[in-house]
Amino acid sequence: MKLTGNGTFIGTALKKIVISEGVDYIGVAVFADCKSLKETTLPSSLKEIGDAAFQESGLRKIIIPDGVEEIGERAFMASDLREVELPSSLKKIGDSAFQMSGLRKIIIPDGVEEIGPRAFSKCDLREVELPSSLKEISGDAFEDCDSLEKAIVPRKRIDYINLFPKHTRIYGK
């Protein structure tokens, strides 16, 4: 079952949502611009979060359940998000997915293969950890993350050094 109806709740005053089991896709901009939205529960049946699904929402923390394989373009862009837990089932983080969000730390789990352009650009990130499973990452994925102090990268991928601001300390794992 899909939660579609592009922009269905856009800009509404929702404070909390619980998405029912059986929903495997959250559609384009369904909860975009929901500034009052502070809490959401996602079902274990979820496979994909669509483009701009929670863009500019008031969410501060979200746990993305195991089973989700893709986070769409701009899914959490410009949201109040401070914390996110990503599942090991995740394969792709779309273009600008978390751009301009309030994220402070992100651990990208092993299993993620692709991180799109500007996925985390202009975030308030202090620390990031990349998995060894990455096959493709855009050179501007962390563009303008001026607060980024620490990056943990797979030892075999020394070329990742150029992804981060010059002042960022790089550690191998």
Six-digit token string for 65: 């359940």
With 80 as the cut, is the pLDDT of residue 143 above it?
yes
pLDDT in tens, 61-93: 999 999 999 999 999 999 999 999 999 999 999
> 37 or 5, which is more confident?
37
Please give the mean pLDDT across all residues of the chain. Answer: 94
With 80 as the cut, is the pLDDT of residue 158 above it?
no
Considering the domain delimited by 1-173, tell me its CATH architecture. Alpha-Beta Horseshoe (3.80)
> 156 or 100, which is more confident?
100
For 158, phi and psi rounded to 5 degrees? Answer: -60, -25
Share of the chain above pLDDT 70, in %: 98
With 90 as the cut, is the pLDDT of residue 3 above it?
no
pLDDT in tens, 109-135: 999 999 999 999 999 999 999 999 999
Q: Say if CB 3 and CB 26 are below 8 A apart.
A: yes
CA distance 127 to 131: 14
DSSP 38-59: -EEE--TT--EE-TTTTTT---
Separation of CA 55 from chain center: 11
